[in-house]
Chain A
Amino acid sequence: MTKFEYAPAPESRAIVDIKPSYGLFIDGDFVDGHGKSFKTISPSTEEVLAEIAEADDADVDLAVKAARRAYTRVWSKMSGAERGKYLFRIARIIQERAREFAVLESIDNGKPIKETRDVDVPIVAAHFFYYAGWADKLSYAGYGPDPQPLGVAGQVIPWNFPLLMLAWKIAPALACGNTVVLKPAETTPLTALLFAEVCQQADLPPGVVNIVTGAGETGRAIVSHPGVDKVAFTGSTDVGRAIAKAVAGSNKRVTLELGGKAANIVFDDAPVDQAVEGIVNGIFFNQGHVCCAGSRLLVQESVAEEVLAKLKRRMKTLRVGDPLDKNTDVGAINSAEQLAKIRELSEIGEAEGAERWSPKCDLPQNGFWFPPTIFTGVSQAHRIAREEIFGPVLSVLTFRTPKEAVEKANNTPFGLSAGIWTDKGSRILWMASQLRAGVVWSNTFNKFDPASPFGGYKESGYGREGGRHGLEAYLR
């Protein structure tokens, strides 16, 4: 029995109106698909939320054709200033309906309301605002005096940040004059479908944004459709590789944002309490379902014991449970499949001899749950130090010198992000120049801003999203 028990503080679900079934959003209207349907569930309770149409090849074809029509007849001819107005309007509507988006995202994805409310949805709106501003300034973006859009963009996004990844894809594409066919992940389609309603509300011309739901087959249909000029994908490295093969030899442009195994590097002169916060934020934010998660902690041997003691104490205060409770820090794992993968890799970690630790926490009976977990005594040779777990599981390694830290951090096929914790500014700059990672955070972690480019080295993909750099992928 703790002294200060926080009473339940649930966010009301009343604001969202989940329909029993959803069709596809093609050419400005919701239409029935030709294919089967699938169910989307709430990962925290396993409650079925809605029946979702699964787009087949014919549906994807319709969507691509609608996008093409909208591109040639309306969107590519419209002035940048006019396109910008639509994007500003979308951004404002998202702000107005922020609570609705936050609650729906939390229900469908399993992530805490605190996070959808304070992180996901505000950054989504910020992204639309940011790229709305570029729409009439593309001639000054550094890509030539009169850069042109590519045409129809086929976009496939993951389930970890459903609405945010949608914004990262759609906002720059539209700002540059492209039209899109977007497929949300099969476990998290609801906020994309709500976004389709926002497009209607904003009077966006039909066909500029098309949302087709489905799983891998639908994604393949989009990627391999001959009418698609550009493929943008965020997700696993395996699928990314398959996409790269599928579009090889075609004229399609591709950007891929794939997995990661980021090193979060803590030096002995780090601001230790903030470093502990950064470690927690790096791996337990969004249940660790973050491609740039700081899943490998590299801590200098001289402070390893102190940092670990503080980390464990901090982890004991993490509140795991109902995603809609405003005090929940860690929500549900997104799917049974992902939970099985996290469990499997954690068992491998134990079998390989790493020491596993989790704070005591009561996990709910229903739904998919995994406690915040750290593995100590991990070496570079362990699978949990090499493979992306994509869950709330941290592998702790140690190092002795800055050089060793760099070597270990870079010793991975991935290269998406890295974190550096030290009070020494010169070391931050030196480390940042040595690390082969697309994003390097110093004395912070998991900070996202629409003005800042994001993307990876090596198997973490290619191309950049966000900022002025993010325009390049949608212009020629």
Chain B
Amino acid sequence: MASSVSEATSSDAALRRFLHGLPGVDQVGAEQRAAGLGTRSIKTTAKAWAIDLAIRMVDLTTLEGNDTPGKVRALANKAMHPDPLDPTCPSTAAVCVYPDMVATAKKTLGSSGVKVAAVATAFPSGRAAMPVKLADTRDAVAAGADEIDMVIDRGAFLSGRYLEVFEEIVAVKEACGDAHLKVILETGELQTLDSVRRASWLAMMAGGHFIKTSTGKIQPAATLPVSLVMLEAVRDFREATGQMVGYKPAGGIRHSKDAIKYLVMVNEVAGEDWLDPDWFRFGASTLLNDLLMQRNKLKTGAYSGPDYVTLD
């Protein structure tokens, strides 16, 4: 496969042939399968296990124009101790911020093991010159980011300039150095599931460590049918190349029930190897509080309320 990757990316035409040669996706069938998996009933011990795992998979996110160091410090503290009254509550996988907040987050998190992810490459639109995107990336890495969440140029992808998108991802990856690269496809703008499958393969072939659905700034963000196609992509990519790529749905996942649906889908479509924060993340902000409330409900048998979990 390594040789066929270089073959497929030898020219725009070759890359187009390869991506358009991937099996099509029947939207009706994909939606039906996603809905079917959504009816799995996860109860008691399975639910408790899933909730703790989901907490460990959260990239706790704040990506707002009004973010301040204070807000980011608060978020980082929450990521380390989501439930300050319960030491058995696991910490989240990472916090996800804009590049200028990386240093603040890094300092607060210290050696807690919680990673810092930064969105870069002119997030969320990706509309900037290549040198700007690379500088954005290098700046975040220099500030201590462990992970970079880049956006692809959807305009280039939709107009069929696949090689340009490929080379862009390769260049950003190089700029990342040791930091892990998550490639945001912004599936809400790609629209068709065929495009989602092609963009997923493109990002994996270019060396992305994770493929990610959305910036969270465009509706629809993560959906179950899109996740189905992307999870099939990481599964098939490993089968073809032996390389495992992670998956991160982001945006719109607000409730524990939804998070558990995603975990069921990961389990039954990609396989249980992906049920690990190294290979699966939730890009979310409000989800964490609902996970915590459900976690308490399972422990105590009673629902608490929004005042019993911390504000972000």
Chain A interface residues toward B at CB < 8 A: 2-9, 114, 118, 269-274, 277-278, 317, 326-327, 423, 443-444
Contacts and interface: CB of A to CB of B under 8 A. Distances in A.
Chain A contact surface mostly: loop
Given A2-B272, A4-B267, A423-B24, A271 B29 contact: yes
Interface residues of B, number: 27
B26 A443 contact: yes
Nearest to A273: B232
B229 to A, nearest CB: 8
Contacts of A326: 39-41
Nearest to B48: A7
Contacts of A9: 41-43
B78 to A, nearest CB: 26
Contact of A327 (B32, B40, B47): B40
A4 B23 contact: no
Contacts of B263: 4
Chain B contact surface mostly: helix
Contacts of B30: 273-274
Contact of A277 (B33, B40, B41, B49): B33
Contacts of B43: 7-9
Interface in B208-260: 232
A326 B263 CA distance: 17
B265 to A, nearest CB: 11
Interface of B: 23-26, 28-30, 32-33, 39-47, 49-50, 232, 263-264, 267-268, 272, 275
A326 B30 CA distance: 21
Given A271-B25, A271-B26, A327-B41, A7 B275 contact: no
Contact of A7 (B29, B44, B268): B44
B24 A7 contact: no
Contact of B50 (A4, A270, A271, A274): A4
A473 to B, nearest CB: 31
Contacts of B45: 5, 7
A443 B27 CA distance: 10
A278 B232 CA distance: 16
Given A4-B275, A6-B42, A327-B41, A270 B32 contact: no
Contact of B272 (A4, A273, A444): A4
5 contacts: A4-B272, A5-B46, A271-B26, A272-B23, A274-B25
Contacts of A2: 272
A114 B50 contact: no
A271 B275 contact: no
A444 B26 CA distance: 9
Given A4-B267, A4-B275, A5-B46, A273 B41 contact: no
Given A271-B25, A274-B30, 19 more contacts: A2-B272, A3-B267, A4-B50, A4-B263, A5-B45, A6-B42, A6-B46, A7-B42, A7-B44, A9-B42, A269-B23, A270-B24, A273-B23, A273-B232, A274-B26, A277-B32, A278-B29, A317-B268, A326-B39
A254 B28 CA distance: 37
B49 to A, nearest CB: 7
A8 B272 CA distance: 19
B42 A114 contact: no
B108 to A, nearest CB: 32
A292 B24 CA distance: 26
B197 to A, nearest CB: 9
Contacts of B50: 4
